Chain A
Amino acid sequence: MMSQTIKIVVVVLALVAFVIIVPTSGSFVVLLATRAMAFAILAMSVDILLGFTGLSSLGQAAYFGVGAYLTAVLATKFHFGLGWDFWLVVVLGMLIGAALAAVFGLFAIRAGGVYFLMITLALGQCVWGLAYRWNSVTGGDNGINLSGRPSFGLDLSNEVTFFYLVFGFFAASMALMYVLIRSPFGRSLVGIRERELRMQILGYNTWLHKYIAFIIAGAFGGLSGVLWAQTNGHVSPETLVLTTSVDALLMVVLGGAGTLIGAVIGAAIVFGMREYLSTLVPWWQYALGAVYVLTILYLPSGLMGVPARIRQARANTAAQNVVEANKELATKT
C-alpha cells in the first residue's frame, strides 16, 4: 500500500504540473480544462454521498442548477456579482445549494437505497420544471445569457486568468473535502456506508450525519454551479437536466467511488472524450456509453481500483505458483 503522504504528494505534483502545462496548450484546452474543473467539484460532491456515505443521489443537478441560475439572475437582473461582489455570489451560491439540500434532505434522507435515488430524482426534476416554467425569472427554455464575466482587478474575461481562478476553487474544494473525509465526521460517513445499524448502536445519530453530508454536498454543488455559469456564460434548463446528475454519478463510478481523485479523473475522462470524440466521430455517445458499461461490469471499483486489482492478480498468481510448486514436490517425493 502506498502511504497516505506519498499519495498526497503525487496528487499535488499532478495538480502543479496541470496548472503549468494547461495555460500553454491553446485556448481550446484551457476552456475544456476550466469546464472539467468546474464540473469536477459537482462530481466530488456526488462522491461524498455515493462513495463515502453510500447514498446514490440522482438529483445533484438541482444544487448545481440553483447555483448557476442564482449567478445568472443576479448578474443580468441586478447587475450584482460583476466586480468584487463576485465573491459574495460564490458564498450565496454555496448557501442556496446548502439551503435547498437542507429542504430536500428532509424528504430524501429518511429513505435508503433505490428509494433515496427515486426521491432525489423526483426533487431534481421539480427544480428542472421550475427553471423551465418560471419564465419571468429564468427565461424559460431560452435560459439566461450572461453579459460577461466579473472583473475586480483581475479581468476574468481572459480565459487563462479565469482558468487560474477556477483552478483555485477546484483545488480548495478538493482540499476541504479531503480534510472532511479524513475527519471524525467523514469516517462516520464511511461507517454508515458499511453498516448503518451498527453505527446507531455505537451511539451515532446516523440520520443527522447523512443529513449534514447531504447539505455539504449541496453547498459544493452550488459552488460548482456558480463557476459553471461563469464558464459558459449561459444558463438554461439544459444545465440542470437529469443528464447532468447522471453524468456526475457516472463520472464518480468511472473514476472510482470512495476516492475524491476518482471523481476528478472521471470528470476529466468524460469531458475529454466528449470534446475530442465528438469532433472525430458522430457516434461518440455510444463510445462513452460503452465505457460506462464496461467499467460497471469489469471495474466495479472504477479506474482507481485498477492498482488494487493488479496487486490482487499478482498475489493470486504468486499463490498459484506456490501451490503448483508444492504439487510438483509432492509428485516427486
Chain B
Amino acid sequence: MSEQTNGSETPVLELRGLCKSFGGLQATRQVSLRMMPGDRKAIIGPNGAGKTTLFNLITGIYPVSSGQLFLYGRDVTKWPSHRRTAMGMARTFQVTHLFPKLTVFDNLLLAINGLRSSKFVMWRFLSSYKDVYEKAERLLSDAGFLDRKDTEVRNLSHGEQRQLEIVLGLASDPKILLLDEPAAGLSSGETSEMARFLMNLDPKLAILLIEHDMDVVFDVASQISVLHFGEILETGTPAQIHASAKVQEIYLGTG
C-alpha cells in the first residue's frame, strides 16, 4: 500500500460530516475529525453528548446515517467492524468487554489471533503456535500482568480489567487506538497509573480518547474537542479548552 510510505501525509482516520440519527434523535451531527499518526486527541462532553455513539460509528458497530469515514485514505464507511480492525483500528469499551470466564492469557491469545489467518485453522492445537504464545507473554510482561496470566478475568479487580482492555486493544498492533473512558470507575491512584500507562505507549500510535476525568485528558491529549448534543462545539489545546467560556457553560450550567 502506498499509504504506508507517505504515512505522514495521509491521516490514519478521517471523519467527514458524520451523522447518526436514532429515529427522531440526532445523536451525531456533522462530526468531522482528522487523526494523523501519533496524534493524541480527546473528545469530552457531558453525558449523552454522543461520545460513545461516535465511537460505535467509527468502529462500525452502528451504520452511519450520512457522512464518510476514511482509514488511511480508504473509504471504510460501509465496512464491517472486523475489516476496520484489519486496517489497524482497535478500541476499548466504556463497559468492560472482556472474556470473563477465560484466563488473562486466553484473552490475549484470542486478541492476537484476531488478525492472523491462522484463526481459521482447525487441525492444529492453538498451543502449537509458539509465536502467538511468545507475543502474549511479551504483551503481558510489558503491562505487568505476567504473574496473573492464569487468573480468570472475572476475578481481576476493576482497575486491572480496565488495563487489560487496553492490552487486548494493543494485541492487534493497531495504528489507531480508540479509548472509551479508560479511567471509568477507577480510584484516583489507579487513574494516575492509567495516565502513565497511556503516556508510555508507542509515540507513533494515534490515540483518540473519550474521558470524563480531566486529569487523564490533560495528561494524554494534545488536542481536545468538545462534543455537545452530537455536535463538535469547540476544538483546541487543553489550555484553550480549559479557558473556554462555552465549555464552562456546558459543564457548569449557565456559569
Q: Which residues of A contact B102 (CB under 8 A)?
A: 190-191, 194
Q: Which residues of B contact A183 (CB under 8 A)?
A: 121-126
| Of B41-49, B82-90, B155-163, B235-243, the one touching chain A | B82-90
Cα A183 to Cα B129 with chains together (Å): 10
Interface 0/1 of A197-218, CB less than 8 Å to B: 1111111111001001000100
Q: Which residues of A contact B99 (CB under 8 A)?
A: 190-191, 194-195, 198
Of all chain B residues, the one with the shortest Cβ separation from A188 is B119
Query: Contact: A200 with B81, CB < 8 Å?
Result: yes
Q: Does B73 contact A (CB under 8 A)?
A: no
Query: Contact: B168 with A184, CB < 8 Å?
Result: no
Minimum Cβ distance to chain B for residue A157 (Å): 35
Q: Does B127 contact A (CB under 8 A)?
A: yes
Query: Contact: A202 with B59, CB < 8 Å?
Result: no
Q: Does A124 contact B (CB under 8 A)?
A: no
Query: Contact: B82 with A187, CB < 8 Å?
Result: no
Q: Which residues of A contact B121 (CB under 8 A)?
A: 183-185
Cα A194 to Cα B115 with chains together (Å): 19
Q: How many residues of A are in contact with the other chain, CB < 8 A?
A: 26
Q: Does A299 contact B (CB under 8 A)?
A: no
Query: Contact: B129 with A187, CB < 8 Å?
Result: no
Query: Contact: B123 with A179, CB < 8 Å?
Result: yes
Q: Does B210 contact A (CB under 8 A)?
A: no
Partner of A184, one of B80, B82, B113: B113
Query: Contact: A182 with B119, CB < 8 Å?
Result: no
Q: Does B91 contact A (CB under 8 A)?
A: yes
Query: Contact: B168 with A185, CB < 8 Å?
Result: no
Q: How many residues of B are in contact with the other chain, CB < 8 A?
A: 39
Query: Contact: B122 with A179, CB < 8 Å?
Result: yes
Q: Which residues of A contact B111 (CB under 8 A)?
A: 202
Given contacts A200-B80, A202-B172, A204-B114, contact A187 B100 (CB under 8 A): no
Interface 0/1 of A160-201, CB less than 8 Å to B: 000000000000000000011011111110110011011111
Query: Contact: A202 with B110, CB < 8 Å?
Result: yes
Cα A220 to Cα B81 with chains together (Å): 31
Cα A198 to Cα B86 with chains together (Å): 14
Query: Contact: A184 with B129, CB < 8 Å?
Result: yes
Minimum Cβ distance to chain A for residue B9 (Å): 26
Query: Contact: B122 with A185, CB < 8 Å?
Result: yes
Cα A195 to Cα B81 with chains together (Å): 14
Q: Does B22 contact A (CB under 8 A)?
A: no
Q: Does B118 contact A (CB under 8 A)?
A: yes
Minimum Cβ distance to chain A for residue B80 (Å): 7
Query: Contact: B129 with A204, CB < 8 Å?
Result: no
Q: Which residues of B contact A194 (CB under 8 A)?
A: 99-102
Q: Which residues of B contact A197 (CB under 8 A)?
A: 61, 93, 97
Interface 0/1 of B50-88, CB less than 8 Å to A: 000000000101000000000000000000111001100
Q: Which residues of B contact A200 (CB under 8 A)?
A: 61, 80-82, 85
Query: Contact: A198 with B122, CB < 8 Å?
Result: no
Minimum Cβ distance to chain B for residue A265 (Å): 21
Cα A200 to Cα B56 with chains together (Å): 12
Query: Contact: A202 with B85, CB < 8 Å?
Result: yes
Query: Contact: B82 with A203, CB < 8 Å?
Result: yes
Q: Which residues of A contact B132 (CB under 8 A)?
A: 184
Q: Which A residues from 106 to 153 make CB contacts under 8 A with B? A: none
Query: Contact: A191 with B110, CB < 8 Å?
Result: yes
Partner of B120, one of A184, A191, A195, A202: A184
Q: Does B109 contact A (CB under 8 A)?
A: yes
Query: Contact: B119 with A185, CB < 8 Å?
Result: yes
Of all chain A residues, the one with the shortest Cβ separation from B60 is A200
Q: Which residues of B contact A216 (CB under 8 A)?
A: 122
Of all chain B residues, the one with the shortest Cβ separation from A186 is B122
Query: Contact: B81 with A201, CB < 8 Å?
Result: yes
Minimum Cβ distance to chain B for residue A71 (Å): 26
Q: B residues near A, CB below 8 A? A: 59, 61, 80-82, 85-86, 90-91, 93, 97-102, 106, 109-111, 113-116, 118-127, 129, 132, 168, 171-172
Supply 23 A–B pairs (Cβ within 8 Å), ascending by A: A179-B122, A180-B123, A182-B126, A183-B122, A184-B122, A184-B132, A186-B122, A187-B113, A187-B126, A188-B113, A191-B110, A194-B99, A194-B101, A199-B110, A200-B81, A200-B82, A201-B91, A202-B85, A202-B110, A202-B172, A203-B115, A204-B82, A212-B120
